[in-house]
């Protein structure tokens, strides 16, 4: 089955509203294994909506529209669809009673005549009651094409998808699509794709596709099958092969990202953390505390952005900073060890480096030392994240800190550079 999504609204064309509706519809369709080949956005213009409908009729078995069902003169989706399929609009009496009931119930002002436009539906279509707004959707089948029209506001569209469209798709679909994401840190999307290219080309179902994410990347495995179980069965060997290829560069199958994975791992293992950040200026702790419940993992820490702060908050000796420089293995060690002690945490992490764009006359921009201390050992990773923007240097520094923590907790080699304390 092939579907096509048409979103109607001048606010989408102007870019003042982002088209989240198309993505919401697409996610549901792909769950049912229904292929979507086109999303089209048109404005509130009868001619162009009709053109989009004509085009879609020739290519798809299922057309889902979003937007343009309301009471104003801009709202013309139903007219255009009815015209496109040679139907007329007729007043749906059941929906009219319901709509007038809402007015009475909610104590709205006078029921102005333009509201009736919302309950004019293509002849013979099935109304889709909108309990989250006032404009009903509708559904009809004509000449072998199914059409579902849905309201545009996301707060109405989402529950309509769940409660009105899902039952229709249950009847229409043959099979489901399922996918798993394998998450990586420490390898780029292009290298990953290069190493997987031959394998990817052999595969048709399941398929493999690499994606770059913020400071990390993932490979998505997607299978189409009659049942969820069959899809899982098909994906299993592919996932195993990818994991075998990349070893501990893969940190998780499914889940959100490295920060969330690491925070959950800390919570699960009941390990507490304290952080001392220089060049990242609080970003690591911000990223950790983005995750609800992070207080079970992160006790707190320091933003030691200046040399004075390193000394005043954590007592890093001014002489050491002067001798070795703030961007040094030795200062990184002190940050992790001291912040851990200061907070009474199980693990301490330190980050010190040069995020740029200006240099310090000594180090290359992008030189960063990231440290991890438990009560016995302090590990230091030295990275040269060169040729990147300031925000990228900071992001990758945080990602490296998270990677050291997840390696430590999983009993993987953390880093060659280590010293017992």
The minimum distance between CB 421 and a copy of itself, in angstroms, equals 20
Candidates 23-31, 162-170, 262-270, 317-325; binding stretch for a copy of itself (CB under 8 A): 23-31
Task: Return the residue of 58, 86, 93, 107 that touches a copy of itself, per CB under 8 A.
Answer: 107
Binding range to a copy of itself, per CB under 8 A, among 60-68, 91-99, 378-386, 402-410: 378-386
Which tokens in the block code for residue 17? 């509203």
Under the binding rule (CB under 8 A), the answer on residue 197 touching a copy of itself is yes
Which range of residues in 4-12, 77-85, 223-231, 255-263 is near a copy of itself by CB under 8 A?
A: 4-12
- In the list 127, 175, 186, 282, the residue contacting a copy of itself (rule: CB under 8 A) is 282
Among 122, 301, 350, 353, binds a copy of itself (CB under 8 A): 301
Which token pair is 68?
Answer: 């343009």
List binders of a copy of itself among 137-166 (CB under 8 A): 153
Binding of residue 125 to a copy of itself (CB under 8 A): no
* Residue 58 binds a copy of itself, judged by CB under 8 A: no
Positive or negative: CA dihedral 56, 57, 59, 60? positive
Residue in 30, 54, 41 with CA at minimum distance from that of residue 6 = 41
- Do β-strands 120-122 and 126-128 pair in parallel, antiparallel, or remain unpaired? unpaired
Are 235 and 258 a contacting pair, CB within 8 Å?
no
Task: Report the distance separating Cα 374 and Cα 262, nearest Å.
Answer: 16
d(CA 421, CA 419): 6
Helix or strand holding residue 153 (H, E): none
Q: Are the CB atoms for 208 and 221 separated by under 8 Å?
A: yes
Angle, helices 307-314/329-343, rounded to nearest 10 degrees: 30
Interacting residue with a copy of itself among 122, 210, 348, 353 (CB under 8 A): 210
Task: Count CB atoms within 10 A of the CB of residue 105.
Answer: 8
Of residues 102, 172, 203, 243, which one binds a copy of itself by CB under 8 A? 102
DSSP state of 364: P
Q: Which is closer to a copy of itself, CB of 141 or CB of 154?
A: 154
Q: Which of residues 386-405 bind a copy of itself (CB under 8 A)?
A: 386-391, 394
CB-nearer residue toward a copy of itself: 88 or 108: 108
The DSSP code sequence of 349-360 is EEEEE---SS--
Q: Examine residue 46 and tell whether it contacts a copy of itself (CB under 8 A).
A: no
Please give the residues from 214 up to 253 whose contact with a copy of itself meets the rule CB under 8 A: 220
Q: Is residue 332 near a copy of itself by the rule CB under 8 A?
A: no
């Amino acid at each position: 089955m092939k579907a096509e999504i048409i979103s109607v609204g001048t606010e989408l064309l102007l870019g003042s509203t982002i088209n989240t509706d198309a993505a919401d519809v697409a996610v549901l369709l792909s769950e049912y294994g229904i292929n979507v080949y086109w999303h089209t956005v048109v404005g509130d213009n009868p001619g162009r909506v009709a053109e989009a409908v004509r085009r879609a009729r020739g290519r798809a078995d299922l057309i889902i529209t979003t937007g343009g069902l309301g009471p104003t003169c801009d709202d013309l989706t139903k007219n255009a669809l009815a015209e496109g399929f040679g139907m007329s609009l007729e007043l749906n009496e059941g929906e009219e009673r319901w709509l007038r009931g809402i007015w009475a119930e909610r104590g709205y002002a006078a029921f102005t005549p333009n509201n009736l436009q919302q309950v004019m539906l293509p002849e013979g279509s099935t109304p889709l009651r909108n309990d989250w707004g006032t404009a009903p959707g509708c559904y009809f089948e004509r000449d072998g094409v199914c059409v579902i029209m849905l309201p545009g506001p996301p707060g109405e569209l989402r529950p309509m998808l769940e409660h009105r469209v899902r039952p229709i798709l249950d009847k229409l679909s043959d099979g489901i699509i399922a996918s798993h994401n394998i998450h990586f840190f420490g390898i780029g999307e292009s290298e990953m794709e290069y190493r997987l290219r031959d394998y990817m080309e052999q595969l048709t179902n399941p398929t493999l596709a690499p994606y770059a994410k913020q400071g990390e990347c993932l490979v998505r495995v997607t299978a189409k099958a009659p049942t969820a179980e069959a899809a899982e069965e098909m994906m299993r060997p592919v996932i195993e092969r990818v994991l075998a290829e990349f070893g501990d560069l893969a940190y998780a199958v499914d889940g959100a990202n490295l920060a969330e994975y690491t925070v959950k791992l800390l919570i699960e293992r009941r390990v507490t953390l304290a952080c001392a950040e220089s060049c990242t200026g609080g970003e690591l702790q911000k990223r950790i505390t983005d995750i609800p419940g992070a207080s079970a993992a992160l006790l707190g820490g320091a933003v030691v952005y200046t040399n004075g702060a390193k000394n005043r908050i954590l007592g890093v000796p001014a002489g050491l900073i002067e001798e070795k420089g703030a961007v040094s293995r030795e200062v990184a060690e002190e940050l992790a060890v001291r912040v851990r002690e200061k907070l009474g945490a199980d693990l301490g992490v330190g980050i010190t480096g040069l995020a740029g764009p200006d240099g310090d006359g000594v180090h290359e921009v992008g030189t960063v030392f990231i440290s991890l201390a438990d009560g016995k050992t302090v590990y230091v990773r030295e990275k040269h994240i060169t040729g990147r923007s300031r925000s990228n240097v900071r992001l990758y520094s945080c990602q490296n800190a998270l990677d050291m923590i997840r390696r430590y907790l999983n009993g993987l080699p953390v880093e060659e550079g280590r010293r017992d304390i």
